[in-house]
């Protein structure tokens, strides 16, 4: 899929992996809608990038706000790509120190944001892709974001790991379901990337996290995530697959 003169939606586009993806697709000649929370730096980024970038404040779990995001993208140019990066963790133990059961509400909130939000984005992106004329045998590509925590979640990551594993499970079904519409779906499962979540950690901690990666023994650069997203878009045979982007890290128990 050639994104030139087509539109791309990037959720969580104001920061980290999403922001790198926004910059990549602008550089490739697309119109990009940055969908992120109202308090994010999305408008500043759109102002910096000029007329091809738009910010639309939206929560990925909200149906009408996300529908608006895809409508704005469809008005700019045919929507061909959605890169869904919005997400976050949230620590939860099954039992707290006193032996009380962990909060069901907190579990539901994190699963809702990461997993239900992914389905909301996927289905609304697909609805907009389906309205377009196929080009070179396809209509659109949706890229979801999981995590290595889908397979190797750490203690405290129970809602996040459950949700990220759910995204892995969603990927092949979605690709099969949307094949007749000529829409592809892939997922990227990053290891440890140098985004604002990690940047806030002390330098020493960052260094030791980087050294825990077999090769290259460093944190991932968000540009490497964006480069893979662009390759998935370009390569028609990539479909229904979750790709680990992690320098061979396999998180051991802590
Ligand atoms: N950075 C890593 O090491 C890493 C590793 C594995 C997976 N991931 C995943 O990659 C994705 C991006 O992570 P990042 O490191 O770039 O994080 P980040 O915090 O830098 O960016 C996430 C963006 O998502 C936005 N966001 C959060 N909740 C939202 C909502 N409900 N609606 C709309 N936007 C929302 C935030 O405002 C923020 O701009 C996340 O899904 C994360 O779980 C990151």
pLDDT band at residue 168 under the 50/70/90 scheme = very high
Ligand 1 site residues (CB inside 6 A) read 11-12, 14-18, 36-37, 40, 59-61, 85-88, 113, 145, 147, 190, 192-193, 195-198
CA distance 180 to 40: 37
**Which are the contacts of 163, defined by CB distance < 8 A and separation ≥ 6?**
87, 110, 111, 113, 114, 115, 118
Is 160 marked active-site?
Answer: yes
Sorted by where each starts, the structural domains of the chain and their CATH numbers stand as 7-245 (3.40.50.720)
CA-closest candidate to residue 3, choices 226, 243, 240: 226
Rounded mean pLDDT, 120-149: 98
- pLDDT of 178-209, one tens digit each? 999 999 999 999 999 999 988 888 888 899 99
Rounded mean pLDDT, 30-44: 98
Residue 202 pLDDT = 87
pLDDT band at residue 68 under the 50/70/90 scheme = very high
Nearest CA to ligand 1 atom 7: 147
Rounded mean pLDDT, 63-74: 98
CA distance 130 to 139: 7
- pLDDT of 75-101, one tens digit each? 999 999 999 999 999 999 999 999 999
* 216 preceded by a cis bond (ω within 30 of 0): yes
Rounded mean pLDDT, 115-134: 98
- Between the CA of 180 and the centroid of ligand 1 the distance, in Å, is 31
Testing ligand 1's pocket by substitution, the residue of 17, 82, 150, 160 carrying the most ligand atoms inside 8 A of its CB is 17
Residue 197 pLDDT = 83
Testing ligand 1's pocket by substitution, the residue of 14, 55, 88, 90 carrying the most ligand atoms inside 8 A of its CB is 88
DSSP for the chain reads: ---TTSEEEEETTTSHHHHHHHHHHHHTT-EEEEEE-TTSSHHHHHHHH-TTEEEEE--TT-HHHHHHHHHHHHHHS-EEEEEE-------B-SB-TTSPBPPHHHHHHHHIIIIIHHHHHHHHHHHHHHTSPPBTTB-EEEEEE--THHHHPPTTBHHHHHHHHHHHHHHHHHHHHHGGGTEEEEEEEE-SB-SHHHHTS-HHHHHHHHHTSSSS-SPBPHHHHHHHHHHHHH-TT--S-EEEESTT--PPP-
- Which atom of ligand 1 lies at the shortest distance from residue 148's CA? 6
Residue 200 pLDDT = 81
Rounded mean pLDDT, 111-124: 98
Nearest CA to ligand 1 atom 42: 87
Residue 198 pLDDT = 85
Tokens (6 digits) for 112: 């809702």
Rounded mean pLDDT, 157-170: 98
């Amino acid at each position: 899929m050639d994104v030139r003169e087509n539109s791309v939606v990037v959720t969580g586009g104001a920061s980290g992996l999403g922001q790198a993806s926004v910059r990549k697709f602008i550089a490739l000649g697309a119109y990009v809608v940055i969908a992120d929370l109202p308090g994010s730096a999305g408008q500043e980024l759109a102002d910096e990038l000029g007329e091809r970038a738009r910010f639309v404040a939206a929560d990925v779990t909200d149906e009408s706000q996300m529908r608006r995001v895809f409508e704005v993208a469809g008005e700019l140019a045919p929507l061909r790509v959605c890169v869904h990066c919005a997400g976050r963790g949230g620590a939860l133990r099954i039992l707290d120190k006193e032996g009380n059961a962990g909060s069901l509400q907190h579990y539901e909130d994190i699963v809702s944001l990461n997993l239900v939000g992914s389905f909301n984005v996927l289905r609304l992106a697909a609805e907009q892709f389906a309205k377009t004329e196929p080009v070179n045998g396809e209509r659109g590509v949706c890229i979801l974001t999981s995590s290595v925590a889908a397979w190797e979640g750490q203690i405290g990551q129970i809602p996040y790991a459950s949700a990220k594993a759910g995204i892995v499970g969603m990927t092949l079904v979605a690709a099969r379901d949307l094949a007749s519409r000529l829409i592809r779906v892939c997922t990227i499962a990053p290891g440890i990337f140098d985004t604002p979540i990690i940047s806030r950690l002390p330098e020493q901690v960052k260094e030791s996290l980087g050294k825990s990666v077999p090769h290259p023994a460093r944190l991932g650069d968000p540009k490497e995530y964006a480069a893979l997203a662009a390759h998935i878009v370009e390569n028609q045979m990539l479909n229904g697959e979750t790709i680990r982007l992690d320098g061979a890290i396999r998180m051991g128990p802590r």
